């Protein structure tokens, strides 16, 4: 049996603007998806998703997933989850030149589903890594990131960006601009995540920003200003000593930029009452800064706070379902499960 795990991510800066060619800086966080893979003697694939908020399920199939048996969870959720596992299996078979390989797969995750924390990317990255290793092949992280991107791209009908999969495979902070992805050496950042239990519709939110941008020049300027914030934030990160704890000055300045970024995203119409309430709760509790992360509309915020203050305040904030500290994950995909699936938030997998 082979086990791999891969982290989720938050956007320190730049979601939405990245769609229009501006840079973005996603950061991997110590919340992981773990995938156990065991090769089978036949070409079947059997998937068990444990600890899911959707109660877990088991599906066994041959070749394509068209003839899946009925399972005791909502069909759309199973279809979504299975799409990612299928795509990961296809990539592993292709990478190992083993088109008929069969697997028993167990997926576990402590990354909230569909909340903008890159849970599907983490499952795909860990799944491809574990399955190829199980077949005796080892992929370089860059190839793994590329294959995981192709898997997500296929499942999401061409809507995937490289940010989530690259960040999950490589770990740390990452700069993404179009297809160009590179790691940024940075000190460990004290992230706190607040989750409202919901999820926005990424497609609709992206379309809404596109319409605003087409209609109003100042909305287009707002998108460019987010790009300016990202460039400034990136400079600060690059100037910092990656081997030392972050200085107070760095945290204050990054926090200020996060606050700016959230304000601009709010102006672009992608925040929500619950996201704004969580952002303000974190700021009032002393966070250096706070912003929504991901597509918005619902889901998660990220705050910068080295104290327990923001997390505690978030847990008492109406509309916040869960809050947790999530250090920067300096390691991306890794073999084995030491230290995985830790944490105290809701569990979920595969989407
Ligand atoms: C969604 O997590 C991030 C967006 O920028 C969309 C994308 O980059 O594909 C809103």
CATH at residue 308: 3.30.70.890
Check if 122 has its Cβ closer than 6 Å to any atom of ligand 1: no
35 shares its domain with 181: yes
Whole-model pTM? 0.89
More confident: 329 or 158: 329
150 shares its domain with 52: yes
Which residue in 125, 53, 107 sits closest to 322, CA to CA? 53
Provide mean pLDDT across the span 266-282.
98
Average pLDDT, the chain: 88
Check if 18 has its Cβ closer than 6 Å to any atom of ligand 1: yes
For residue 251, name the pLDDT band (cuts at 50, 70, 90). very high
Atom of ligand 1 nearest to the CA of 14: 5
174 shares its domain with 201: no
162 shares its domain with 205: no
* Phi and psi, residue 291, nearest 5°: -155, 165
* pLDDT the model gives residue 83: 85
CA distance 87 to 95: 12
Residue 302 has pLDDT above 60, yes or no: yes
Residue 348 has pLDDT above 70, yes or no: no
DSSP readout, 339-351? Answer: TTT-SSS------
181 shares its domain with 195: no
Q: Which of 51-60, 307-316, 323-332 has the lowest mean pLDDT?
A: 51-60
Residue that has been written with the tokens 């087409």 in this structure: 214
Asked if residue 75 is part of any domain, the answer here is yes
CA distance 176 to 144: 17
pLDDT in tens, 62-93: 544 444 544 445 566 667 778 888 999 999 99
Provide mean pLDDT across the span 299-321.
96
Q: Which residues participate in catalysis according to the annotation?
A: 164
Ligand 1: centre distance to CA 104 (Å): 32
Ligand 1: centre distance to CA 166 (Å): 14
Check if 14 has its Cβ closer than 6 Å to any atom of ligand 1: no
CA distance 198 to 113: 9
Which residue in 303, 304, 222 sits closest to 265, CA to CA? 222
Q: Cβ atoms within 10 A of the Cβ of 224, count? A: 14
Check if 128 has its Cβ closer than 6 Å to any atom of ligand 1: no
Ligand 1: centre distance to CA 298 (Å): 14
- The residues near 57 (Cβ < 8 Å, ≥ 6 apart) are 48, 49, 71, 72, 73, 78, 81
238 shares its domain with 307: yes
Residue 228 has pLDDT above 70, yes or no: yes
The tokens for 73 are 């969870």
More confident: 4 or 115: 4
Asked if residue 100 is part of any domain, the answer here is yes
Asked if residue 346 is part of any domain, the answer here is no
Atom of ligand 1 nearest to the CA of 19: 8
Asked if residue 344 is part of any domain, the answer here is no
* pLDDT the model gives residue 342: 39
Asked if residue 308 is part of any domain, the answer here is yes
DSSP 19: G
pLDDT in tens, 2-18: 999 999 999 999 999 99
Atom of ligand 1 nearest to the CA of 163: 8
For residue 47, name the pLDDT band (cuts at 50, 70, 90). confident
The residue whose C-alpha atom lies closest to atom 9 belonging to ligand 1 is 161
CATH of the domain at 40: 3.30.230.10
Q: How many helices (H) and strands (E) does the chain have?
A: 9, 12
For residue 337, name the pLDDT band (cuts at 50, 70, 90). low
DSSP 212: H
For residue 343, name the pLDDT band (cuts at 50, 70, 90). very low
Residue that has been written with the tokens 């576990």 in this structure: 108
Check if 9 has its Cβ closer than 6 Å to any atom of ligand 1: no
143 shares its domain with 15: yes
Residue 341 has pLDDT above 50, yes or no: no
Check if 236 has its Cβ closer than 6 Å to any atom of ligand 1: no
The tokens for 230 are 């990202």
* pLDDT the model gives residue 296: 95
Asked if residue 347 is part of any domain, the answer here is no
Which residue in 278, 264, 269 sits closest to 197, CA to CA? 278
What domain range is 88 assigned to?
2-185+329-335
Atom of ligand 1 nearest to the CA of 17: 5
**What is the share, in percent, of the chain residues with pLDDT greater than 90?**
75
Three-state SS for 303?
A: strand
For residue 200, name the pLDDT band (cuts at 50, 70, 90). confident
CA distance 174 to 115: 20
More confident: 243 or 159: 243
* pLDDT the model gives residue 334: 96
Asked if residue 351 is part of any domain, the answer here is no
Residue 344 has pLDDT above 80, yes or no: no
* pLDDT the model gives residue 351: 26
251 shares its domain with 119: no
Q: Cβ atoms within 10 A of the Cβ of 78, count? A: 21
- Per the structure, the count of domains in the chain is 2
Q: Is the dihedral of CA 39, 40, 41, 43 positive or negative?
A: negative
| Cβ atoms of residues 61 and 204 within 8 Å | no
CA distance 189 to 195: 19
For residue 53, name the pLDDT band (cuts at 50, 70, 90). very low
CA distance 96 to 230: 38
Ligand 1 site-directed mutation target among 18, 114, 176, most atoms within 8 Å of CB: 18
Check if 120 has its Cβ closer than 6 Å to any atom of ligand 1: no
216 shares its domain with 133: no
List Cα–Cα distances, 85 to 127, 130, 279, 325, in angstroms.
7, 12, 34, 28
pLDDT in tens, 157-182: 777 789 999 999 999 999 999 999 99
* pLDDT the model gives residue 340: 42
165 shares its domain with 261: no
Check if 15 has its Cβ closer than 6 Å to any atom of ligand 1: yes
167 shares its domain with 200: no
List Cα–Cα distances, 320 to 190, 228, 279, 287, 314, in angstroms.
19, 30, 10, 16, 6
* pLDDT the model gives residue 349: 30
219 shares its domain with 280: yes
């Amino acid at each position: 049996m082979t086990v791999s795990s891969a982290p989720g991510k938050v956007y320190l800066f730049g979601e939405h603007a990245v769609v229009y060619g501006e840079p973005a800086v996603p950061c991997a966080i110590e919340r992981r998806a773990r995938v156990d893979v065991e090769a089978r003697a036949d070409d079947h694939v059997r998937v068990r998703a444990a600890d899911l908020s959707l109660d877990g399920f088991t599906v066994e199939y041959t070749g394509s997933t068209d003839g899946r048996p009925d399972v005791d969870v909502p069909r759309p959720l199973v279809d979504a989850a299975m799409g990612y596992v299928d795509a990961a299996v296809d990539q592993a078979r292709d990478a190992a030149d083993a088109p008929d390989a069969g697997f028993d797969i167990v997926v576990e995750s402590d990354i909230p589903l569909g909340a903008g924390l890159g849970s599907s990317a983490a499952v795909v990255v860990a799944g491809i890594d574990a399955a190829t290793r199980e077949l005796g092949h080892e992929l370089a992280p860059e190839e793994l990131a590329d294959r995981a991107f192709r898997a997500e791209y296929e499942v999401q009908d061409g809507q995937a960006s490289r940010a989530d999969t690259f960040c999950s495979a490589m770990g740390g902070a990452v700069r993404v601009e179009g297809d160009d992805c590179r790691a940024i050496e940075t000190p460990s950042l004290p992230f706190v995540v607040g989750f409202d239990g919901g999820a926005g519709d990424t497609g609709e939110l992206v379309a809404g920003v596109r319409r605003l941008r087409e209609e109003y020049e100042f909305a287009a300027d707002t998108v460019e200003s987010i790009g300016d914030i990202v460039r400034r934030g990136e400079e600060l990160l690059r100037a910092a000593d990656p081997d030392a704890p972050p200085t107070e000055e760095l945290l204050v300045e990054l926090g200020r930029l996060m606050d700016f970024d959230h304000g601009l995203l709010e102006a672009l119409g992608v925040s929500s009452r619950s996201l704004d309430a969580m952002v303000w709760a974190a700021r009032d509790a002393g966070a250096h800064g706070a912003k929504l992360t991901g597509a918005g509309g619902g889901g998660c915020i990220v705050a910068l706070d080295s104290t327990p203050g923001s997390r505690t305040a978030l847990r008492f904030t109406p509309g916040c379902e869960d809050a947790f500290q999530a250090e920067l994950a300096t390691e991306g995909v890794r073999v084995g499960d030491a230290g995985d699936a830790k944490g105290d938030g809701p569990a979920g997998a595969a989407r």
